[in-house]
Amino acid sequence: MKGLDSGFSAALARVPGVDAVGLEERAAALCKRSIKKDTKRWALDFLIRCMDLTTLEGADTQGKIVAMCGKAIRPDPMDRTIPSVAAVCVYPALVTAAKGALAGSNVRVASVAGAFPSGLAPLAERLSEIRDAVASGADEIDIVLNRSAFLGGGTQEAFDEIAASKEACGAAHLKVILETAELGAYDPIRRAAALAMRAGADFVKTSTGKVGGATPASALCMMEAVRDFHRETGRRVGVKISGGVRQAKQGIQYLVILHETLGADWLMPDLFRVGASTLLNDVLMQIGTQRSGRYQGPDYFTVD
Amino acid sequence: MGTIRKRTSSGASAPSKRGAIVPASPFAYAPAPESRGIVKIKDRYGLFIGGRFVEPRSKRHFETISPSTEEVLSVVADAGEEDVDRAVAAARTAYAKTWRALPGRERAKYLYRIARALQERAREFAVLETLDGGKPIKESRDVDVPLAAAHFFYYAGWADKLDWAFPNRRPRPLGVAGQVIPWNFPLLMAAWKIAPALACGNTVVLKPAETTPLTALLLAEVLQEVDLPPGVVNVVTGAGRTGAALVAHPDVNKVAFTGSTDVGKAIARSIAGSGKRLTLELGGKAANILFSDAPIDQAVEGVINGIFFNQGHVCCAGSRLLVQEPLLPVLIAKLKDRLQTLRVGDPLDKNTDVGAINSRMQLGKIEELVQSGIDEGAEIYQPECTLPAKGFFFKPTLFLGVSQSHRIAREEIFGPVLSVLTFRTPEEAVEKANNTAYGLSAGIWTEKGSRILWMAQRLRAGVVWANTFNRFDPSSPFGGYKESGFGREGGLHGLEAYLAFEQGAGRG
Amino acid sequence: MASAGRVRIRKTYKLFVGGAFPRSESGRAYPVKDARGDVLAQAARASRKDLRDAIRSARGAFRSWSEKTAYNRGQILYRVAELLEGRRAQFEEEIARSGGRKPARELDAAIDRWVWYAGWCDKVHHVMGTVNPVAGPYFVFTIPEPTGVVGIVAPDEPALLGLVSRLAPAIVSGNTAVVLASETKPLPAVTLAEVLATSDVPPGVVNVLTGLRSELVPHLAGHMDVNAIDVTGVPREMRADTEKLAAENVKRVVFAKSDESPYEITAFTEMKTVWHPMGA
């Protein structure tokens, strides 16, 4: 296990409080930005390039994965200018299938691991699942914060588990899901993000998508933590927004929040992702509208 | 546009690369202009007297321009003494013959109609306000117009409940109210003045500011549409002379003024001994106090909002930032980064954060005071931004190392300029905050509730905001201590200024 | 006016629960008669299960109705008045059929009273709340808060104005309501419910049940999830038993003392007092 971070307690103590009303007002104001024309076209294209196309269902089969990966590489079969997504996100058992279906493309494979979504299994099993997923070819690992430990006073334990998970990832990059909807308020979101980054996370992520998803305010809170961490350590941690992002309009709002909180430096797939499934078709429809001036209909976009 | 001459030893800090929006950013927002087409501005406006638009007997007119483009928007009348006299007479007639006798319940319905009309024509009013005054469309759309409607709605509900507001005092209207309003929130200030006056049974002669007459004139059109009895509200456009004639008119029972402290004092002198009732809402130099345990990112937003909202053309602006010393380095770094994300430019663009300065004259005043800050040794910081070639614009400005004796810490700048001072203890913060002839507002930022209340108790300011700033509501009284004026607008307290009460000792 | 020879389509008078108009789950109705004894219409005869559903609906709507800003509630209630005014002809006819002698006057009074109460939404705190100057370094304030779900037994007369006079003050502060309409003159209440359904009042904030007093009042009075009961319309002979049942969960028992007063509003509120120290 990785050595304990002696500065950890001091770092946590420095995490500022969050005023909920002020935070929500700022997020709402950012959501009112008017993104039009060239800017909107760039944003829609960027959303695809930053998307983690996701399926995390008990009913996922090889066939489902193969179809989704096809869509991931070529979202619109009629239009070669539409880029591939950044990654697909699947359960460990489907990593091999995904890897095969994506061979020859630049699309990466992210795997959830570590007793997703609850995180409540013995640590040894969770670490083993991570190692197996990486061995199967996963480029990226998405784990959950142990909320049971974090909310129950075991912040050191939660920290240690993340550090151990980072080690188990080897070369794969680690995303830590804070499950913002379960944390109950913004102060713990800020602290959880600080904790995860201190412990080695490459990305902080809002939600599993299984209980309540991201909100503009919770995303802003997380990004403010990322900003402070960069100021203190020089390290840039990525931000992934997931859970309930179904419309392009929402995706663009998160981009604005990112842009005005963390700046242009974070505008790249290495530092920003959106985890989604139905979002992709809405983005494609919006691109169609931007180009033709006509509102689009779902019949013209594939369902995979 | 004037230039700021910087001292050679200190200049603007290099803008932080981290978080900066530079032109090369792939996500530079395309222009998103709100359409002007919704508002039809007439070439010429008369005075609104007795329910009709009439030519001024003075035969004088003047232009009103858009401060963001310097184009002429329209020509409005310059009311002379005779015109003011007509307007007051119309208000008196309406009071005596119609309005005074109307039951509160029915007066209320007119006020509800006005509120609803403002909501219906919200976009039109917002665009016009931005054109005439220079404030960003997102502010006129999201703050000014909704609040104006809300004021009418709120005071409508008091019109038939005055006995409950003042039990045992038999409230009665005063008669004719002469009201002079400023250019920083033209429509909203008209609402703040007209709504309570009418709710209490008075009639009104309103004098809008010289540089921003148009939304008051559009409001007059609305008053016609809602069938408000003629003469209940009259609008006389003009400059300082018109206002002076109005407040001095012998048949005005009540004077209400919002504007500069100097003019407020002149008005008080002008009506001295006349028995007229008076309320004044004047200038301010508010302290925004940040403790080390403040929720810092929200505090930064509050500071920014406190001084750059409406370009700082706000009497209650948080123009003095008092920072607890340990917090200073982080706070300044965050402020500078945040300043860099402010979008200054065309007020009609929906993404503009900081619009135009209201007039050439005001821009000159700001430049003069900013120069004094540099000359007196404070360190100036301005973000990188390109200002439009035409129109009156000023970059958001920070002064560091400011002391209480600097002019920029004492005088109201009424522009987007923030002075940063430090303190160590709560007592020192209170002392510095109160060390001014003004007393309109103050801000407190800390996680500790008891400290908020302790500070609020000691701050000599009529409005104290804790962990927020620049929040207004029709139900919440607003007004100042000391030279920031007297009287309160909004809330139950806002009714008092427009009523007479029965005397009588021992009335049960 | 309808053309001669044209057969009119008659209205069905149903319950109003959760924003919708269901029939009684019991499948029953009862005849509503005019002063001469002629049948005006059949009204739904609500059962105790309908009542139970209505209370559940009111409870479900309480949180979001009470958490709206007072200004927002005031706007929503004012909108109801706009719709009432627009439907004058229908209401005047309904009032006249229910025996109202001066339908236009009663309707004017009902609309004006509704607006009068709507205007209190964001003002009752000024007059009824306080800051308490305790003898110590504490900031102490008292504010009125809505009590929760209010059951209202509407008076028989005037058919519309009587109901409005009890319903408006109850919901202004954020309470939700279950109304037992007058047994003999229920029709204006149902038509009022139609206005509520098409205004911006959220589903469940007001529920209206028609039916027999004897069947419904005891269950309303005894229901453990109702916080207050307005007994203004409870027949005299039933009052004592009603109040006994209400005692089981310490319901606030309220009855009309005045036509128009903010005290009618606060009769349905709880006064909450909060202390906080003042110290640097």
What is chain B's mean pLDDT, rounded?
94
Asked if the model's pLDDT at residue A54 lies above 90, the reply is: yes
pLDDT tens per residue across span B235-274:
999 999 999 999 999 999 999 999 999 999 999 999 999 9
Nearest 10 degrees: Cα torsion C163, C166, C171, C176: -70
Active site residue A64: no
Percentage of chain C surpassing pLDDT 90? 97
Q: Regarding beta strands B203-207 and B47-49, do their DSSP bridges make them parallel or antiparallel, or are they unpaired? A: unpaired
Range of the domain at C194: 40-277
| Interface residue B28 vs chain A (CB under 8 A) | yes
Mean of pLDDT values over B54-76: 98
| Residue A291 pLDDT | 86
Asked if the model's pLDDT at residue A17 lies above 80, the reply is: yes
Active site residue A240: yes
Asked if the model's pLDDT at residue B17 lies above 60, the reply is: no
Mean of pLDDT values over C219-248: 97
pLDDT tens per residue across span B161-179:
999 999 999 999 999 999 9
Residue type for position B501: F
Domains of chain B and CATH, by start: 44-282+484-500 (3.40.605.10), 284-478 (3.40.309.10)
| Residue A294 pLDDT | 87
| Residue B13 pLDDT | 36
C173, part of any domain: yes
Q: How far is B53 from chain A (nearest CA, A)?
A: 38
Find the closest chain B residue to C263 by CA distance: B164
Rg of chain C taking only CA atoms, in angstroms: 20
- Helix-strand-coil split of chain B, %, nearest 5: 40, 15, 45
The answer to whether the CB atoms of B161 and C118 lie below 8 A apart is: no
| Residue A298 pLDDT | 85
| Interface residue B26 vs chain A (CB under 8 A) | yes
| Opening angle at CA C244, ends C241 and C248, nearest 5 | 140
Percentage of chain A surpassing pLDDT 70? 98
pLDDT tens per residue across span A98-148:
999 999 999 999 999 999 999 999 999 999 999 999 999 999 999 999 999
Place of tokens 């609008």: B235
| Chain B residues with CB-CB distance to A42 below 8 A | 26-27
Asked if the model's pLDDT at residue B7 lies above 50, the reply is: no
Which helix H or strand E contains C190, and what residues bound it? helix C187-198
| Chain C residues with CB-CB distance to B165 below 8 A | 126-127
Asked if the model's pLDDT at residue B490 lies above 90, the reply is: yes
Q: How long, in residues, is chain A?
A: 304
Q: How far is A234 from chain B (nearest CA, A)?
A: 11
| Interface residue B507 vs chain A (CB under 8 A) | no
Q: Which entry of A71, A166, A175, A205 is annotated as an active-site residue? A: A205
Q: How far is C118 from chain B (nearest CA, A)?
A: 8
- Helix-strand-coil split of chain A, %, nearest 5: 50, 10, 35
Quick one: three-class SS letters along B27-95? CCCCCCECCCCCCCCCCEECEEECCEEECCCCCCEEEEECCCCCCEEEEEECCCHHHHHHHHHHHHHHH
Give the model's confidence band at B504: pLDDT under 50 very low, under 70 low, under 90 confident, else very high: low
Place of tokens 């305790």: C134
Task: Pick the closest to residue A23 from C152, B300, B480 (CA basis).
Answer: B300
Mean of pLDDT values over A274-289: 94
Give the model's confidence band at A1: pLDDT under 50 very low, under 70 low, under 90 confident, else very high: very low
| Residue A14 pLDDT | 87
Asked if the model's pLDDT at residue B21 lies above 90, the reply is: no
Contacting C with CB below 8 Å, chain B residues are 105, 108-109, 112, 150, 153-154, 156-158, 160-161, 164-165, 426-427, 449-451, 453-455, 457, 473-475, 491-492
C22, part of any domain: no
| Burial group, residue A262, by CB count within 10 angstroms (0-12, 13-18, 19+) | buried
Structure tokens at B69: 């483009």
Task: Pick the closest to residue C167 from C249, C80, C90 (CA basis).
Answer: C80
| Residue A299 pLDDT | 87
Count of structural domains, chain C: 1
C17, part of any domain: no
C19, part of any domain: no
| Chain B residues with CB-CB distance to A50 below 8 A | none
| Residue B20 pLDDT | 40
The answer to whether the CB atoms of B455 and C127 lie below 8 A apart is: no
Q: Is B508 strand, coil or helix?
A: coil
Mean of pLDDT values over B209-222: 98
Domains of chain A and CATH, by start: 18-291 (3.20.20.70)
C46, part of any domain: yes
C169, part of any domain: yes
Place of tokens 């808060």: C145
Residue type for position A292: S
Find the closest chain B residue to C116 by CA distance: B157
Mean of pLDDT values over A169-196: 97
Measured between CB atoms, which of B153, B427, B491 is closest to C74? B153
Percentage of chain A surpassing pLDDT 90? 89
Give the model's confidence band at A303: pLDDT under 50 very low, under 70 low, under 90 confident, else very high: confident
Mean of pLDDT values over B97-112: 98
Asked if the model's pLDDT at residue B160 lies above 70, the reply is: yes
The pTM of the full predicted model, rounded to 2 decimals, is 0.94
| Residue C3 pLDDT | 80
Within 10 Å of residue A204's Cβ, how many Cβ atoms? 27
| Residue B26 pLDDT | 87
Asked if the model's pLDDT at residue B23 lies above 70, the reply is: no
Lowest mean pLDDT among A263-267, B5-9, B153-157, B388-392: B5-9
CB B172 within 8 A of CB B202: no
The answer to whether the CB atoms of B475 and C71 lie below 8 A apart is: yes
| Chain B residues with CB-CB distance to A230 below 8 A | 18
Task: Pick the closest to residue B47 from B60, B37, B34, B29 (CA basis).
Answer: B60
What is chain A's mean pLDDT, rounded?
95
CB A280 within 8 A of CB A85: yes
Give the model's confidence band at B15: pLDDT under 50 very low, under 70 low, under 90 confident, else very high: very low
| Opening angle at CA A120, ends A115 and A126, nearest 5 | 45
Residue type for position A14: R
CB B218 within 8 A of CB B53: no
Lowest mean pLDDT among A192-196, B1-5, B30-34: B1-5
Asked if the model's pLDDT at residue B37 lies above 60, the reply is: yes
Which domain CATH number covers C203? 3.40.605.10
The catalytic site residues of B sit at: 281, 315
pLDDT tens per residue across span C92-150:
999 999 999 999 999 999 999 999 999 999 999 999 999 999 999 999 999 999 999 99
Asked if the model's pLDDT at residue C1 lies above 70, the reply is: no
Q: How far is C250 from chain B (nearest CA, A)?
A: 30
The answer to whether the CB atoms of B427 and C126 lie below 8 A apart is: no
Which helix H or strand E contains B119, and what residues bound it? helix B104-120
